[in-house]
A and B are shown apart, each in its own frame.
Chain A
Amino acid sequence: MSGRPSGRGLGLALGLACLSLVCALHARDWRTGDAPDTVVVQWRRGPDAAALAAEAARLGLGSGLGEAELHKALHKMAGAELKRSLDLIKVDIVRLPGAVGAAAVDRALAVYRASGLVATAGPDGPMRMAQAPSSYPPTDLDLAGGQQNLTDTAWMGAAAAYSAGTIKLQGQVTVALLDTGVNPGPPADTEFSQGQVLPDGVSYVEGVFSSADDNGHGTFCAGLLAAFPQNPSSPSGIYGTFLDPSLIRILPVKVLDSCGRGYTSNLTSGVVYAVGQGARVISMSIAVDEDDPALQSACEAARDAEVFLVAAAGNDAGATSYPAAYAQVLAVAALDHADMPASYSNSGKIDISAPGGDGLSPGYCPCNGPPANASAAQALVASCPYAIWSLATDYPGCPSDSPPNLACGLSLAYGYAAGSGTSFACPQVAAAAALLFSQDPGRQVSDVQQLLLRSAAATALGPGYNNRTGWGKLNLLGALVQTHAGAPASPLKVYNWPNPFSPAKDGLTTLTFFLPQPAAATLSVYDGAGELVRHWDLGAASTYAGMNQLTWDGRNGRGTMAANGAYLLVLQSGGARAVNRIGLLQ
């Protein structure tokens, strides 16, 4: 053999080199993936006249300028153009026209960070859909046997209870789906009822002006959330199982592009938009690696507005991704068919888990295009029994190969696809939350969260909390009929979260306590001198075995805000006692 490369090998090498060059030219990411020209600026709240005057003087401007004028002046000084203002959280998203590269962004950031009016300023960060790295091809075959997400007995029981009239639903609930968009499909073939997907969706993706799905991920999640089955063998969302699709409305908010990628400023904008549109639940099957103060502020504002936030934990088999990692967001992990945490599912700050499809090992359910014929398709379905099935629809797909989209480039008029990931566990929990709001529109976010967590069923890891499956597996029937099938016999325990907490910032702290059985209990907060600050006396009828929750706004019995400091939290029940400590800091 000669050592000289063959013509074929040379061609391959040149081809790879060209491909690399094209990829490099098309790459939008720079410096660990930050958007090249976008900066997110969060302003301080309520600067006083002295602060405004000082800033005006620092900038060499005349006195008497208002906040808006000073913001404009800073943008001008930074060479930035205002792209979008999010008044709810005092955030400006700005573009640096013509600026490509770290130096230009650093210069702009330096301008903002030097200002006393700016709370935080940073480059826009990347995010991606929380879909497992492989998925199954779509099919239009009978899938009744393959729906891991809908064969759970608690879900079937919930449907039966609804049919029997035990569960009554009464209110319409809007769920904002922050994803790649939603394609309701051709009207004649739709799995969503007319008007179920709201027309006032929005896109925050650069250059895309429609909330229609061009990837498939969003529609897949929407199907899990609310699809209405056209025939008994179709996959359907949780709401669909209740045969009354008029109760839920999906607000599509497109924050991910056709490749399932985007920037955190899109997500931040989407959360604020959803709050403004009156969404009661926000579902985010999205993973962000880096903490983003503006995104966290948006989540805090949403929670303050009594909007229920649910997010996928992420699929890196690592630490919980953002926004799920934020305290205001319910983090959802994925379970495999054996109710074990899925191999890809992140762990850490996990609140609850739901079926997410088994992890895919190489060669298992390969994503290699459509089945050649019906028998091949049947064989494929039979070989992938532990997947999550939902809707697939027309979409152009991603121009590049990474990450793979749902249908591996296959175009399909309308059909079903299977996939796995915490992305698909998330909308199931969002749907359950929507059902609980529908059951009683007067419920607060904390009520719904408590119902979901308290009713969660034991996973294969056992009863009680762990950082891989949270409080347990979503138990829809248990939450709706307020039974506590998964509640383990707990020893007396009490704590609060967040801790420390700021009444001004967090609003409330949740006092979580565990009882071995329903029993009369008292919760008391004492100050540093041992004086009583707040007291709750609970009868046996209002407590549960397992987890119970109350909230405290930081005020004493007279309604006076307690001072900063450490407080003693005491739980007493049946002669036993548990103690923890609250840090109040604002």
Chain B
Amino acid sequence: MSRRPHRARARSLCLLLTLAFLLLPAIRLCAADDGGEAESWTKLIIGGRDAALGGAAGALVGDPFAVQFNPALSLGLQSWHASTQTFLLPDGRNLEYAGLSGLAGGPTGMGWDIDYAQLNSPALELRVANTPQPAGTFGSGASLTRLGFAVWVLDQSLAVGLDLKFFSQALQADSAWGYSEDLGALYRPLGWLDLGCVLENPFSNVSWTTGLGENLPLEGRLSAVAYALTRRLDLGADCEFSAAQGPQVHLGLEGWPIAGILALRAGLDNGQWALGMGAATTVLGVRVSLDYALASDASAAADQFQNRISLDVGFTL
């Protein structure tokens, strides 16, 4: 007898165990009051596709927005990508994003990406006394600049990536500057399965002009994406572990009723639902994708939602 069926069965068993491990914490889907970590706004999901999949995109190969979860994913891109999004939150904030990513040196070369996200917030009420009328207002805002690199270390089945994140934040007259980094890996054991693993913020610091120094918590992310029906259906699952918070689970399902052109998506982002759709076409060799996501927000009323529209242009030089 050949050894190949045994190997396939072993891989399938690994897959099942991995998926079970990822889904185990899904029993904890209600929100815990353990938020409030430094630069928490950077956990807002960027990209209509990724948001509609509930953030289960840490192993989503071929999506330029997914590099925010795992820097190794830039190696899965088939071309250069220029991406942008508008993200409207129910509390009046909006998050703008622009990114450029691609492969340098062909399919076996180095993947890289550079992107910038900016959170715009409405003014806060200044109060020096317990009075309903505020004494004035003050502003707040934040931005993130990210540089990512990735290389294959084992044929085209295992890749590692590193990204450096630079934060700036302002609140009233004070401001902060900081950095952190992510180390990511992408493993492609089977044609229908991709696995991801990320270690976030091993070294970080945010320094405020008030003199306060903050750290981002050490976090880990395990991800899996499985494909079926000749890649017209994919299922993603991510689990985040944090030194500061309980585990968080992200689940996503994507179907392509019209292959390569129209996608429908649904996801669960740590207990918050998400729905979305995407349309893509190729014009003069340029691949244009437009994605939309509608998601619930734990902090918002039942009839208020997060809205994201993202645009991605894939091209070859």
Interface of A with B (CB < 8 Å)? 327, 331, 349-351, 449, 453, 464-465, 467, 470, 493, 495-500, 510, 512, 514, 524-535, 549, 556-558, 560-568, 570, 577, 579-583, 585-586
* 265-308 of chain B: CB within 8 A of chain A: 272, 297-301
Closest Cβ neighbor of A524 among chain B residues: B299
* B36 A500 Cβ-Cβ under 8 A: no
* B40 A529 Cβ-Cβ under 8 A: yes
Q: How far is the CA of A558 from the CA of B245 in the complex (A)?
A: 9
Q: How far is the CA of A449 from the CA of B43 in the complex (A)?
A: 39
Interface of B with A (CB < 8 Å)? 31-44, 89, 91, 119, 121-122, 124-135, 138, 140, 142, 169, 171-172, 174, 176, 206, 208, 210, 212, 214, 244-245, 272, 297-301
Q: How far is the CA of A416 from the CA of B133 in the complex (A)?
A: 40
Sample (25) of A-B pairs whose CB atoms are under 8 Å apart: A327-B128, A349-B131, A349-B135, A465-B132, A495-B132, A497-B129, A498-B128, A526-B35, A526-B298, A527-B41, A528-B119, A529-B35, A529-B43, A531-B34, A531-B245, A531-B298, A532-B35, A535-B33, A556-B34, A560-B244, A564-B176, A565-B38, A565-B169, A581-B122, A583-B172
Cβ contacts under 8 Å, B44 to chain A: 528-530
| Additional pairs, 10, CB under 8 Å, beyond known A350-B131, A583-B124 | A500-B138, A525-B36, A527-B35, A528-B41, A530-B272, A532-B298, A533-B34, A562-B37, A564-B210, A568-B299
Q: How far is the CA of A568 from the CA of B40 in the complex (A)?
A: 13
* A499 B39 Cβ-Cβ under 8 A: no
B91, B130, B206, B272: most-surrounded residue (chain A CB, <10 A): B130
Q: How far is the CA of A464 from the CA of B133 in the complex (A)?
A: 11
Cβ contacts under 8 Å, A585 to chain B: 171-172, 174, 208, 210
Contact of B172 among A500, A512, A563 (CB under 8 A): A500
Contact of A564 among B119, B124, B171, B299 (CB under 8 A): B171
Cβ contacts under 8 Å, B31 to chain A: 531-532
B132, B135, B298: most-surrounded residue (chain A CB, <10 A): B132
* A512 B130 Cβ-Cβ under 8 A: yes
Closest Cβ neighbor of A559 among chain B residues: B34
Q: How far is the CA of A500 from the CA of B134 in the complex (A)?
A: 12
Contact of A495 among B134, B208, B245, B272 (CB under 8 A): B134
* A534 B33 Cβ-Cβ under 8 A: yes
Q: Known contacts A493-B132, A500-B124; decide if A530 and B171 are in contact (CB<8 Å).
A: no
**What secondary structure prevails in chain B residues at the interface with A?**
loop
Cβ contacts under 8 Å, A586 to chain B: 210, 212
Q: How far is the CA of A6 from the CA of B130 in the complex (A)?
A: 62
* B38 A563 Cβ-Cβ under 8 A: yes
* B131 A467 Cβ-Cβ under 8 A: yes
Q: How far is the CA of A510 from the CA of B31 in the complex (A)?
A: 24
Q: How far is the CA of A259 from the CA of B42 in the complex (A)?
A: 61
Closest 3 CB pairs of A and B: A557-B33, A562-B36, A531-B35
* A497 B131 Cβ-Cβ under 8 A: yes
* A581 B125 Cβ-Cβ under 8 A: yes
Q: How far is the CA of A470 from the CA of B132 in the complex (A)?
A: 10
* B133 A465 Cβ-Cβ under 8 A: yes
A327, A453, A531: most-surrounded residue (chain B CB, <10 A): A531
Cβ contacts under 8 Å, B91 to chain A: 568, 579, 581
Cβ contacts under 8 Å, B39 to chain A: 528, 563, 565
Q: How far is the CA of A10 from the CA of B201 in the complex (A)?
A: 87
Q: How far is the CA of A498 from the CA of B133 in the complex (A)?
A: 13
* A566 B210 Cβ-Cβ under 8 A: no
Cβ contacts under 8 Å, A465 to chain B: 131-133
Q: How far is the CA of A531 from the CA of B31 in the complex (A)?
A: 7
Q: How distant is B164 from chain A, measured CB to nearest CB, in Å?
A: 20
Cβ contacts under 8 Å, A327 to chain B: 128-130
Closest Cβ neighbor of B131 among chain A residues: A465
Q: Known contacts A563-B214, A568-B91; decide if A583 and B33 are in contact (CB<8 Å).
A: no
Cβ contacts under 8 Å, A565 to chain B: 38-41, 140, 142, 169, 171
Q: How distant is A567 from chain B, measured CB to nearest CB, in Å?
A: 7
Q: Known contacts A526-B299, A563-B38; decide if A583 and B138 are in contact (CB<8 Å).
A: yes
* A496 B36 Cβ-Cβ under 8 A: no
Q: How distant is A421 from chain B, measured CB to nearest CB, in Å?
A: 21
Contact of A563 among B40, B43, B128, B300 (CB under 8 A): B40
Q: How far is the CA of A557 from the CA of B32 in the complex (A)?
A: 8
Q: How distant is B209 from chain A, measured CB to nearest CB, in Å?
A: 10
Cβ contacts under 8 Å, B129 to chain A: 327, 331, 349, 351, 497-498
Contact of B32 among A532, A562, A563 (CB under 8 A): A532
Q: How far is the CA of A168 from the CA of B245 in the complex (A)?
A: 47
Cβ contacts under 8 Å, A577 to chain B: 301
Q: How distant is A125 from chain B, measured CB to nearest CB, in Å?
A: 20
Cβ contacts under 8 Å, B34 to chain A: 531-533, 556-558, 560
Contact of A467 among B36, B133, B206, B272 (CB under 8 A): B133
* B121 A566 Cβ-Cβ under 8 A: yes
* A556 B171 Cβ-Cβ under 8 A: no
Q: How far is the CA of A512 from the CA of B300 in the complex (A)?
A: 20
* B171 A583 Cβ-Cβ under 8 A: yes
Cβ contacts under 8 Å, A535 to chain B: 33
Q: How far is the CA of A350 from the CA of B208 in the complex (A)?
A: 33
Q: How far is the CA of A586 from the CA of B33 in the complex (A)?
A: 21
* B128 A527 Cβ-Cβ under 8 A: no
Cβ contacts under 8 Å, B37 to chain A: 527, 562-563
* A497 B299 Cβ-Cβ under 8 A: no
A565, A570, A586: most-surrounded residue (chain B CB, <10 A): A565
Closest Cβ neighbor of A470 among chain B residues: B131
Q: How distant is A459 from chain B, measured CB to nearest CB, in Å?
A: 15
* A533 B125 Cβ-Cβ under 8 A: no
Q: How far is the CA of A351 from the CA of B147 in the complex (A)?
A: 52
Cβ contacts under 8 Å, A498 to chain B: 127-129
Q: How distant is A314 from chain B, measured CB to nearest CB, in Å?
A: 15
Q: How distant is A415 from chain B, measured CB to nearest CB, in Å?
A: 38
Q: How far is the CA of A567 from the CA of B133 in the complex (A)?
A: 19
Closest Cβ neighbor of B128 among chain A residues: A327
* B33 A564 Cβ-Cβ under 8 A: no
B34, B39, B89: most-surrounded residue (chain A CB, <10 A): B34
A467, A514, A530, A531: most-surrounded residue (chain B CB, <10 A): A530
Cβ contacts under 8 Å, B142 to chain A: 528, 565
* A567 B36 Cβ-Cβ under 8 A: yes
Cβ contacts under 8 Å, B174 to chain A: 585
Q: How distant is B34 from chain A, measured CB to nearest CB, in Å?
A: 5
